[in-house]
Amino acid sequence: MEIVLASNFDDALVRETSDLPVSTFFGNFPIGLTGGGRPPRILPAVDPARFRAHVAQVHATGRRFYATVNSSDLGLHEYEPDFERRFLRSVDEWLDLGVDGFVIAVPLLIELVHRAHPEVPISVSTFARIRTVTQAEYFVRLGARTIVLEEANRDFALLRALRRRGAEVEILVNQTCLQGCPYRGHHLNTSSLASQPGESCPAIEYPILQCGWEMARDPRRIVSGIFVRPEDLAVYEEIGIDRFKVSGRNKSTAWLVRAARAYAGRSYAGNLADILSFVQLRAPGRFFEGAPELAADPETMALRRGFAPLGDLAIDNSKFPAGFFRRIAATDCEHTSCEECGYCLSVARKVLTVGGRPLEEYTPPVGPPNPAALLSRIASSPPAPSDRS
């Protein structure tokens, strides 16, 4: 097993995971020419000296460091006459800082890096949204080595086909996106654009509120989402996939060590929410904490009330039925309605509690509030504190 672990640029993270099969860390500066996969307000500030020292620490323990250059939208800057020169200069700067490889989503950037540095490994980011074998083949032909999947985690027909074609596949295990999320494209582009120089960064990405609201309306959707439990990694290993990515660049060292240790040990006893992202349920609460002036606003009050109970959501990992993930791996989830299938939704009733109470006692909110009114409030609100839980 190989773990590819998010870095928060704290050297203690490297030391405290030195006994784990972490092969690679990943991260980057919060703002850069192309942007990246996270809004800058949630990422740790890092200067070139800290970056260099951290990568040196990673190398000292025999691991690699990949820079995330995984924007899904370059803001049309790629059409500017000196874009290629400026981008390749950034690549040279990352390599000079000690970076061993890159995580990239936009094919143009993969092509540019591979032409300039054919020996440098490139992973195709989840932001490329690969869902078919043919798509993956295009990226490999451009020079990518590894295909990172997230949305397609439960598409075992695709995973098997990729392995048959000899692709190196990496599975992002601890994100909590909705199965077939309709808000994802907008969310990825929002983060990508917000992390480019001179762009504004909303206090919270609107698609996060939309996604979280879907979960508030029906928390059973959490279990039909894309996360993978530590206990279920063997289902991937049986088909030749043993590279697992643990995300959380905005998390504390203790949080990242806990998550990495759980996946390395293939087991987590307790509340799964401790090692999963749940940005769509955690970020709204932090947003409201950081914007007390919105307390009396009727639109945001409805939202705040709707999200409040899910701040105390728990997923009892001991209550999942035996064979949970094998059942999913045997289901064509890509072409099945979760409502019609009902499997994950029935498991949710066993494993989820809200405020310590069973799901049957949870009352979902009605709504959602008017987006037009909400968007202007998000843009003008102060940034939420970052998640260092």
For ligand SF4, which is the closer residue by CB, 200 or 337? 337
Total of residues contacting ligand SF4 (CB under 6 A) = 12
Contact region for ligand SF4 (CB under 6 A) — 99-107, 239-247, 326-334, 380-388? 326-334
CA distance 159 to 153: 8
The two structure tokens encoding residue 25: 């860390």
Mark 118-157 with x for binding to ligand SF4 (rule: CB under 6 A) and - for no binding.
Answer: ------------------------------------x---
DSSP character string of 253-320: HHHHHHHHHHHHTT---SBGGGTS--HHHHHHHHHHHT-GGGTT-HHHHHHHHHHGGGGGEEEBGGGS
Quick one: which segment of 185-193, 278-286, 298-306, 334-342 binds ligand SF4 (CB under 6 A)? 334-342
Q: Does 344 bind ligand SF4 (CB under 6 A)?
A: yes
Please state the closest distance from residue 343 (CB atom) to ligand SF4, in A: 4
| 343 lies in the site for ligand SF4, by CB under 6 A | yes
Among 46, 105, 194, 333, binds ligand SF4 (CB under 6 A): 333
Q: What is the closest distance, in whole angstroms, from the C-beta atom of residue 322 to ligand SF4 in the complex?
A: 15
Question: Which of 52, 341, 377, 386 contacts ligand SF4 by CB under 6 A?
Answer: 341
Burial track 199-225 (b if 16+ CB lie within 10 A, e otherwise): eebbbbbbbbbbbbbbbbebbbbbbbb
Query: How many Cα atoms occupy the beta-carbon half-sphere of 273 within 13 Å?
Result: 20
Residue 234 Cβ, how far from ligand SF4 at the closest point, in Å? 18
Nearer to ligand SF4, 154 or 304 (CB): 154
The β-bridge relationship of strands 352-354 and 313-315 is antiparallel
Using CB under 6 A as the binding rule, whether residue 91 contacts ligand SF4 is answered as: no
Among 18, 61, 132, 336, indicate the residue that binds ligand SF4 (CB under 6 A): 336
What CA–CA distance (Å, rounded) separates 90 from 164?
36
- Interaction residues for ligand SF4, span 170-199 (CB under 6 A): 179
The smaller minimum CB distance to ligand SF4, of residues 175 and 224, is found at 224
For the chain, first and last CA: distance in Å?
27
User: CA-to-CA distance for 241 and 13, rounded, in angstroms?
Assistant: 25
Q: What character string, x for contact with ligand SF4 (CB under 6 A) and - otherwise, covers 220-259?
A: ----x-----------------------------------
Tokens read off for 124: 């195709």
Residue placing its CB nearer to ligand SF4 in the complex, 179 or 271: 179
Q: Work out how close the CB of 26 gets to ligand SF4 at its nearest, in angstroms, rounded to a whole number.
A: 27
Which 3 state secondary structure label does DSSP give 339? helix
How long is the chain?
389
* Whole-number Cα distances in Å, 321 to 156, 234, 337, 343, 348: 20, 16, 21, 11, 11
Strand order in 313-315's β-sheet?
A: 313-315, 352-354, 357-358
Binding site for ligand SF4 (CB under 6 A): 154, 179, 224, 328, 331, 333, 336, 338, 341, 343-345
